[in-house]
Amino acid sequence: MAGRRTAGRHHQKVTVMARIFNIYFRHFGLTHNAIVSVRTTPFFTEYILNNISEELMELLPGNKIVSSAPDHFVFQGAGAGHSVVLMDAIIRAVSEHLEDIKIS
């Protein structure tokens, strides 16, 4: 293959740490927990709730919390029929977890 050049490819090894954490929150006097996975885009960070009871999920607009700025969290699709008390408790638990890891 004389005269033919193949451009070398440089592969950069990227280490990505899993961003998953547990939260605990209270609702109607009971302590509940959820596993939160994190997905980051250039425009926002999405916190996805997993392993949450069906009963609680019925009170929520879905399992996604969106944050476009530090300390600004919103449940995606929240409306009048959803439990503000529950959403606030979950958002507070996520926010407190993030504050705890900032301090560490």
pLDDT in tens, 41-61: 889 999 999 999 999 999 999
The tokens for 44 are: 């926002």
For residue 13, what pLDDT is reported? Answer: 47
Q: Which residues, at least 6 apart from 62, have a Cβ–Cβ distance to it below 8 Å?
A: 75, 76, 77
Which residues does the chain have with pLDDT short of 50? 1, 4-6, 13-17
Q: Which residues, at least 6 apart from 51, have a Cβ–Cβ distance to it below 8 Å?
A: 33, 34, 35
Residue ranges of domains in the chain: 20-103
For residue 16, what pLDDT is reported? Answer: 44
- Spatial contact of 41 and 35, defined as CB atoms under 8 Å apart: no
